[in-house]
Amino acid sequence: MISSLLVANRGEIACRIFGTCRALGIATVAVHSDPDSGAPHTREAESAVRLPGATPAETYLRGDLLVKAAQAAGADAVHPGYGFLSENADFARAVLDAGLVWVGPPPEAIASMASKTRAKELMAAAGVPLLAPLDPDRITEEQLPVLVKAASGGGGRGMRVVRELAALPEELAAAQAEAASAFGDGEVFVEPYVERGRHVEVQILADGHGTVWALGTRDCSLQRRHQKVVEEAPAPGLDEKLRTTLHESAAAAARAIGYTGAGTVEFLVRGESAYFLEMNTRLQVEHPVTEAVFGLDLVALQLRIAEGGALDPEPPAPRGHAVEARLYAEDPAQGWLPQTGTLHRFEVPAADAAHRPGAPAAESGVRLDAGYRSGDAVGVHYDAMLAKVIAWAPTRAEAVRTLAGALERAVLHGPVTNRELLVRSLRHPDFTGTGGDPTGLDTGFYERHGAELTGADGKFDHRDEQIAALAAALADSAARTAPTAAPAGTTRPGGAQPGTRTFGAWRNLPSVPQSRRFRGREGELEVRYRVSRDSVEPQELPGVRVLATAPDAVVLEVDGVRREFGLARYGEQVYADTATGAWALTALPRFPDAAGQQAPGSLLAPMPGTVIRLAEGLAVGARIEAGTPLVWLEAMKMEHRITAPAAGTLTALHAAVGHQVEVGAVLAVVTEAEDPAGAAAPADTAATVEETP
């Protein structure tokens, strides 16, 4: 029996595993890098072992340090979580060689699936349907588009879609270089790229006594940069014959390699055909939707299997539908750029804080699996996922509606997140479909709808943001003015009574309009209002009436509808939350600071990171074409390519390989070329940032 478990991981998966351990009476051991010394997973474990360093290569990818940590803490078992070394056969062997229990499949099974090319050979022999790899030297125009994939690893790294034959050699080389950097293995392969295919997977659970469970299907088709964003179970719209094929193929894959423990077999589905993609020999990020539908704790079952226990002959029957959304600190409108900073406040009011990981969400409301808490810092060294929010309901339509509402009402004060994109995605007609049956559920969803879902289609509601800015200005004014007692019967938003501000003292002359400046989503905005003895009158916002103000709450009437705003300020950052939306604003000084201006043409670091590469031959005086990649940064497990915004001359170069840079640091300056008439072209200080997963 396992008495003490070390989780060789971090973030939400470590917290989730610790929750099951507490329920089972198993002692918990965390490991942490220096940046994670105060992270939730470190705080929640009963003991923790420091891994000196900051980067994954120094810490969570050091199998030798992880084994020593388990021994030092007296743990008798190791759970790898997902990511990092979870699919590393050598690490599994090292754990077993140290006399510890490995909560995962046999090292031989991991090794057999580690290479996607070898895995395809094994699956073909087992009769599992798949897409045959293509010879890169013999690909023709008729076979395009094709997909270049890394043979090792995952997460979209080392993956390229190629639509032009002439681009194939360059994309092959780029994928090989990225795969070698990310996984230590530069092998790649090429296969047909299926347009508008669906990513469907089957959860496998197998014990050491010959029982294999195929726990339904999951659809993970909504992806950006080949990384999943929304997942659900069961996969909607599949007929019984296709479901049976998927279940039988997944079970055959597990039996073919002598698999034990939890794993996932992934397929590409198009129409009535399914093709094997890969097998993940670990727990998946999206496992909670399967837990909710089957009423199981997959981590508890992993531990039972690792202890030699047996599964029941048949799994429980599924019920209802579950949907999961991955909440990331990233800006979808800026190319999904990861964000860093302090997460001042993070709450999902709909989630049940007492929800035990693994319990059906139907029994305790919306489930939240989070790796961050209010006050935590989102750093540059690790993945940008903050949490997963999961909802269960008897039907798909109800589950989707519940999840969208929970996300919409979440309180997120800190780095920009993908929350709005998630809500819009869940409510998009192509996702919901008539009667809850999706009509546009495939891996190209964000390619088709990205502009409208991120607001890049120009349909952003400027008036709503202006109204939110007015609420922020009124709350700030209330905070700077000593509050007076509220008139009898007056209430603040949320039902709070004291502190609501009355509107000024007696005057014998009209007041001068007051103004506040903010930076919003699409630039600077100014709000103006006039304060009288018993009212506040917004200027240039017809149809808006002020009902009540306080430092943390404002009530407005907008076109006859009462709207309540919760306000919070952290330094210059201001957050305005309502029941149907949230706004993040930056309060601007009355007079701009000229000292903070950057030279025109400055290429600024979009986030903290490490300079890993400069364009070949890059030097001051070089002629630069618009769109030319100049600097590569690595941050948050992603490679960020920064390109010139316009043609011109490189007049300054401040970046150097190996340098750590802060957000906003000037990396280079490109002075734009003059137009034919001799006038300088308009300066654009923003570089273009492209990301490679």
Enzyme catalytic residues: 282
Specify the length of the chain in residues: 693
Residues 558 and 229: their CA atoms lie apart, in Å, by: 34
- What is the rounded distance in angstroms from the CA atom of residue 290 to the CA atom of residue 600? 52
Write phi, then psi, for 184 (nearest 5 degrees).
75, 15
Distance CA 604, CA 668 (A): 8
Find, among 454, 460, 439, 329, the residue nearest to 386 by Cα: 329
CA distance 678 to 144: 45
DSSP category for residue 656: -
User: Of 372, 266, 280, 377, which is closest to residue 327 (Cα–Cα)?
Assistant: 372
End-to-end CA distance of the chain: 40
Question: From CA 612, how far away is CA 620, in angstroms rounded?
Answer: 19
Its sign, for the CA torsion 282, 288, 290, 296, is positive
Phi, psi (degrees; rounded to nearest 5) at 108: -65, -40
Q: Are 642 and 655 in contact (CB under 8 A)?
A: no
Q: Is 529 exposed, middle or buried (0-12, 13-18, 19+ CB in 10 A)?
A: buried
Peptide bond preceding 589: is omega within 30 degrees of 0, i.e. cis? no
Kindly tell me the number of DSSP H helices and DSSP E strands found in the chain. 16, 39
**Phi, psi (deg, nearest 5) at residue 121:** -65, -45
Which of 10, 6, 43, 8 shows the shortest CA–CA distance to 379?
10
- φ/ψ region of 525 (left if φ > 0, alpha if ψ in -120 to 50, else beta) reads beta
Query: Do residues 238 and 218 make contact, with C-beta atoms less than 8 angstroms apart?
Result: no
Q: Kindly tell me the burial class for residue 25, based on how many C-beta atoms sit within 10 Å of its own C-beta (0-12, 13-18, 19 or more).
A: exposed
Burial bucket for residue 228 (CB in 10 Å: 0-12, 13-18, 19+): buried
Which residues, at least 6 apart from 640, have a Cβ–Cβ distance to it below 8 Å?
337, 606, 607, 609, 632, 633, 634, 689, 690, 691, 692
Q: Which of 280, 369, 281, 279 is nearest to 324 (CA)?
A: 369
Identify residue 236 by its one-letter amino acid code: P
C-alpha distances in Å from residue 232, one per residue of 33, 167, 388: 33, 35, 12
Name the 3-class secondary structure at 235.
Answer: coil
* Cα distance between residue 549 and residue 569, in whole Å: 15
The DSSP bridge partners found for residue 564 are 555
φ and ψ at residue 656, rounded to 5 degrees:
-145, 145
Question: 364: part of which helix (H) or strand (E)?
Answer: helix 361-364
Q: Any idea which residue has 């999951």 for tokens?
A: 218
